[in-house]
Chains A and B, each alone.
Chain A
Amino acid sequence: MFDLLKSMLSKTDSKYADLRYEIKKEIKIIFNGKELTQIGSNLTDGYVLRILKNGGLSSVAFTKGIDAEKAIRTAEMNAVLVSENIEEPIRFAKADVVKDTFSPKLEEDPRRISIDEKLELTRKYNNLPLKYEKIATTNIGYMEVIREKYFVNTEGSEIREDLITTRINGLITSRDGNLIQNVRAGTGGSNGFAILRNAQEEFEKKTSIALQLLKAKPVEAGVHNVILNPSLAGVFTHEAFGHFSEADLIEDNPTMRKKMKINAKLGSDILSIIDDPTMPNQLGFYKYDDEGVMARPTQLLKNGVLVGRLHSRRSAAAFREQLSGHCIAQDYRYAPIIRMGNIYIEPDTNTFDDLLATMGNGLYILDAKGGQTSGENFTFGAQYGYIVKNSKLGKMVRDINMSGNLYKTLQNIAVIGSDLVLSKIGGCGKGQLNIRSCHGAPHVFIKNVIIGGV
């Protein structure tokens, strides 16, 4: 395969070019309620070409190998057009030339497990909620994505890496009269099929929450002190802070770039955040990014001070900062962009009871239900929560959406727990989807958060 890709690349005389070919194997099994609505195994493939010529960069994603030469001409033409219309030529930070083939260590290779066994395991989990009368439906599925990636560039790198992602997850919907509630449930990872076994407890627990939510009251809108559980604090870390550590998001936004200067004090003294794609067995693990750069742990915030950023070769050169190996594509249909790997808040030494004791009165809110950011402001939902009075957990509440200003909220993080948990299911949409986007945190106490209510 490398020889074919290299011969394709030999047709350009540009300063730099790279070509990524991927075979993507996907298995999908989906249940809607009792009904199996989809099952199948499919194989797709494609190419992404990038060309850096005269200081202009451009990409072409194409399906058919015979279109390679046409793609090269188009990319060259567009790169020259870019070069003629920008002030500063685009440069790439210097990266090592790598020749490597890498397959991750797996606990049970999903490729060796029959689709029947995958179907039965999914059916088993899907049946757990459906035993209850007040569970209206489920939407639970098995997903397996195997990306076999071949990367070559004109500097001489040749990298083959496999990314294997599996999960069983979905939505459990409960209903009482006109009131409909739902809760997300699931498990998954990047280190094999074994992680999917023995997840009954997860599906049973989430079923119970979906049923309890039918009796919960909507949360009262207003400004609250809150404790976020690790799942929710992880989403906060990813959405509110993480995205603005991605250099491409702030590169051409002068007002945000000014705020996100290295050495700026952005958070409280106790807050440290790191992104480390090299953590083995975590969802966001990879060895090389889609520019062929080896991933490295990147400290972003240390004791509240901004100390690092996530980079592509282009942005590292533009910012004159260190390469980090965070330029990732969804698949063969996309040129890579800067993404988080495993981002998390570093744990402190406090227990959950310590956090409750410090907060006194407020809300304990759990599990993410989607989030979004627009720079200094963010919004995300929690699946459920509890009222906390005199440091004791009280009644369950629902319809929780919180909103805030990033910089104020980073300053308002008052206590951090010791119980770090990283997410098992990802799905970050930044123009393209990243199913391996992994985030985590311990329990975190934040003061003065706006809750929208209903």
Chain B
Amino acid sequence: MEKLLAIAKANSDKVEIFSLEQTINLVKFENSKLKNIECKVQSGISLRLIKDGKLGFSYTKNLISREELLQNALDSLKGGVEATFDFPHTKDLPRLSTYDPSIENISNKNFLDECNRVCKKLSSKTKGQINVSAGSAIDKLRIINSSGTDVLLSTSNYFFHNTILYPNSYAAIHRMLYLKKFEKSPDEYLHFVLDTYNRSLKKVNPKGGKMKVLFMPETMYVLMWRLLSATSGKDVYQKQSPVAEKIGEKIFDEKITIYDDPLNDKMPNARSFDDEGTPCRYLPIIEKGRLKNFYYDLHYSKKMNTKPTGHGYKSAMWGGDTVFLKPTPSLEHLHIKPGTKSFSELIKLMDKGIVVAGALGAHSGNIQNGDFSIGLSPGLYVDNGEIVGHVKDAMIAGNIYNAMKNVIDIEDTCYPVSAGTFPAIIFDNISVATRK
């Protein structure tokens, strides 16, 4: 990498090299039976350089030829992508605990045994189909640049997915465990999925209309995707954010506080620097309903004449290989502040309404405008303060700027899910379309 930095520096004004090595192991069970064991060992390097205010970018998996990688980056300069920013000089970062060496002693046999144990435990207590998977990811990331930054990060992740499926479909109750090291799934975690499934086994077809709707942590991404789009420095710069002019204004109910917390190393994947080497920090997005901040990478912070917030990540909505992507503003450590009531207290408080346990089509609809219109996969029907069954052939729809003003209450615990760490939230007055 140092050699590449040297030859790239000789050909340009500023240089950044990003290198990632990843090892992923995954064991999958379907219908309580082993289906697959997979392994991936991947590595790659990307190069960004700036010359005369223009950006060059290239990447490769195998660094067979440094010259070719450099030439690809130099060729892309000709396109004239503007780069007015500089690569940061980052040092004295806080030390975070992101790597648990015990992960090295865990094998696929351990994952397999854990999947078997969970399937055995659950299958005697439910008629539903049980799908589980367990796996680990070990990442080694290094970023060096011509401003003198040389930062390194090793992370270890262990994840376990527990899913119970409703008949004739992939609609399911599911919950994820996400840790820095391998641990057996605690009983209360398994019990929640089992109990919620068993209570909702009956198929019901309630009448539609406006009603109370609870989003589980697992479906909160439907609402968060809309907020992420509206508060990204990129969308603000491109004039496609409906809240671009609303910093300091109350846009949500005062019970809602949403923040990004990359430095919290109790969670896996904590970060002291982003994918551009910018130091990370705690960033409130919504505080007691008020819009506090937008989030930026190097490029869009310069465009908007503000400071980068340390949110330049090489990530995309549909995944993709980190190394191949250009950094864009992204909230990778999103949290919603919990409330004070347990999940069962929330159900009681709700009295009557729909729980969104699974969502279909969250990526369709007018995301920038804050609109959502999703299929329930499934919805759970609550009557007299109890879950009485599940609803499938139905939709809910709304707009986050209305829904988030009508918050009834928030769960007291947060769970790691695909887009962040969230509690369940009840909203009032959401439109539900059913066949009745």
Binding site for B on A (CB under 8 A): 26, 29, 32-33, 35-46, 57-65, 67, 71, 74-75, 78-79, 81-82, 85-87, 115-116, 119, 136-137, 173, 175, 178-182, 221-223, 251-256, 259, 333, 335, 369-381, 398-399, 401, 403-405, 408, 427, 429, 433, 450-454
Q: Is B240 touching A45 in the complex (CB atoms < 8 A)?
A: no
Q: Known: A136-B238, A371-B361. Is A44-B373 also a contact (CB below 8 A)? A: no
Closest 10 CB pairs of A and B: A375-B169, A379-B375, A381-B364, A39-B79, A370-B364, A452-B395, A379-B361, A252-B30, A40-B76, A401-B373
Residue of A nearest to B360 (CB): A379
The majority secondary structure among interface residues of chain B is: mixed
Chain A minimum-CB-distance residue to B29: A252
Q: Which residue of B lies closest to A119 (CB)?
A: B79
**Contact partner, A370, options B40, B320, B361, Cβ 8 Å:** B361
Q: Are A42 and B60 in contact (CB under 8 A)?
A: yes
Partner of A372, one of B56, B82, B116, B375: B375
Selected interface stretch from B41-49, B281-289, B415-423: B41-49
Partner of B373, one of A58, A79, A181, A399: A399
- How many chain B residues touch A (CB < 8 A): the figure is 82
Q: Could you tell me the distance between the alpha carbons of A178 and B68 in the complex, rounded to whole angstroms?
A: 47
Expressed in whole angstroms, the Cα–Cα distance for A87 and B374 within the complex equals 39
Whether the pair A405, B364 counts as a contact (CB closer than 8 A) is: no
Q: Is B129 an interface residue (CB 8 A)?
A: yes
- On whether the beta carbons of A75 and B366 are closer than 8 Å, the reply is no
Interface readout for B38-81 with A: 1 if CB under 8 Å, 0 if not? 11111110000000000011111110000010001101101111
Residues of B within 8 A of A369 (CB): 364-365
Inter-chain contacts of B59 with A (CB < 8 A): 42, 44
Are the CB atoms of A64 and B62 closer together than 8 Å?
yes
> By the criterion CB–CB under 8 Å, are B393 and A377 in contact?
yes
Distance between B91 CB and nearest chain A CB, rounded to angstroms: 29
Residues of B within 8 A of A86 (CB): 33-34
A contact face: mostly helix, strand, loop, or mixed: strand
A-B contact list, 30 entries, CB within 8 Å: A32-B238, A39-B81, A40-B56, A40-B79, A43-B72, A45-B61, A59-B38, A60-B38, A61-B40, A63-B41, A63-B61, A64-B43, A67-B41, A81-B112, A137-B240, A179-B369, A254-B31, A374-B171, A374-B358, A375-B170, A376-B169, A377-B360, A377-B393, A381-B365, A399-B371, A405-B393, A450-B435, A451-B395, A452-B395, A452-B397
Chain B: minimal CB distance from A249 (Å):
8
Cβ of B44 and Cβ of A81 under 8 Å apart? no
Min CB distance, B34 to chain A, in Å?
Answer: 5
Cβ–Cβ < 8 Å partners of B41 in chain A? 60-63, 67, 71
B239–A137 touching, CB < 8 Å: yes
Does B406 sit at the interface, judged by CB under 8 A? no
Chain A residues lying within 8 Å of B56, measured Cβ to Cβ, are 40
The distance in angstroms between the C-alpha atoms of A39 and B366, with both chains bound, is 28
Give the residues from 350 to 388 in chain B that come closer than 8 angstroms, CB to CB, to chain A.
358, 360-366, 368-369, 371, 373-375, 377
Q: Looking at the complex, which one of A40, A61, A451 makes contact with B72 (CB distance below 8 Å)?
A: A40
Q: How far is the CA of A179 from the CA of B241 in the complex (A)?
A: 10
Q: Are A81 and B108 in contact (CB under 8 A)?
A: yes
Which residues on B sit within 8 Å (CB–CB) of A173?
238, 240, 368
> Counting CB contacts under 8 A, is B396 at the interface?
yes
- Checking A256, A378, A454 against B398 with a beta-carbon cut-off of 8 angstroms, the contacting residue is A454
A64-B62, A222-B433, A370-B364 known; A379-B76 Cβ under 8 A: no
| Residues in B lying within 8 Å of A, measured CB to CB | 30-31, 33-44, 56-62, 68, 72-73, 75-76, 78-82, 108-109, 112, 116, 129, 165, 167-172, 208, 234, 238-240, 242, 318-321, 324, 326, 358, 360-366, 368-369, 371, 373-375, 377, 392-399, 431, 433-435
B320: chain A residues within 8 A (beta carbon): 433
- State whether A221 and B397 are in contact (beta carbons under 8 Å apart), knowing that A61-B42, A136-B239 are contacts in the complex: yes
Most buried by A among B43, B240, B320: B240
Q: Are B433 and A180 in contact (CB-based, < 8 A)?
A: no
5 further contact pairs, Cβ within 8 A, besides A41-B72, A378-B360: A29-B79, A32-B238, A374-B360, A403-B361, A451-B395
Q: Which residues of B contact A46 (CB under 8 A)?
A: 42, 61-62
Please report the C-alpha to C-alpha distance between residue A39 and residue B37 in the assembled complex, in whole angstroms.
Answer: 37
Q: Of A43, A62, A119, A454, which one neighbours B60 at CB under 8 angstroms?
A: A43
Measured CA separation A410–B158 after assembly (Å): 41
A62: chain B residues within 8 A (beta carbon): 40-42
Q: How far is the CA of A175 from the CA of B369 in the complex (A)?
A: 10
A377 near B377 (CB under 8 angstroms)? Answer: yes
Is the CB–CB distance between A175 and B33 below 8 Å?
Answer: no
- Least Cβ distance of A52 to chain B in Å? 13
- Cβ B34 vs Cβ A180 within 8 A: no
Contact present for A85 and B75 (CB under 8 Å): no
**Contact in complex: A371, B364 (CB < 8 Å):** yes
Within 8 Å CB of A379, what residues of B? 360-361, 364, 374-375, 377, 395
> In the complex, what distance in Å separates the CA atom of A164 from the CA atom of B388?
52
Contact A41 B373 (CB under 8 A): no
In the complex, chain A residues whose CB is within 8 Å of the CB of B80:
36, 39
